[in-house]
Amino acid sequence: MVQPKYHVFVCASCRINGTQKGFCHSKGAVNIIGRFMEEIEDRDLSSEVMVTNTGCFGICDKGPVVVIYPEATWYGNVTEKDVERIVEEHLENGNKVEDLLI
């Protein structure tokens, strides 16, 4: 079993029937997930970081929402441009990206 150092959850507005619709999805969550996967691969962090898409976190006004465990750090209004900063500052250097915190 994989024991990642970090687990990144990104709301993709997935519904129970598998369809994706909702606020985070409409704001580019699928592309954000892709950027996280690319950054993690490019930085050779695949053995340390797992990325998972999720259903709704229930705070759509803050979306797209990203939650990082084990710290339970919640980021809101995340864009594709924010992903590189989150990976570098949080996942590589252990510092939260203060201006994105919920």
Domain ranges across the chain: 6-100
Can you tell me the distance from the alpha carbon of 74 to that of 38, in angstroms, rounded to the nearest whole number? 21
Q: Which CATH architecture has domain 6-100?
A: 3-Layer(aba) Sandwich (3.40)
pLDDT tens for each residue of 29-57: 899 999 999 999 999 999 999 999 998 88
List strands edge to edge, sheet with 66-69: 49-55, 6-14, 66-69, 73-75
- Per residue in 63-92, pLDDT (tens digit) is 899 999 999 999 999 999 999 999 999 999
What is the rounded average pLDDT of the residues 2-27? 80
- Residue 49 CA to residue 8 CA, distance in Å, equals 7
Among candidate residues 62, 69, 70, 73, the one with its CA nearest the CA of residue 97: 73
pTM above 0.85, yes or no: yes
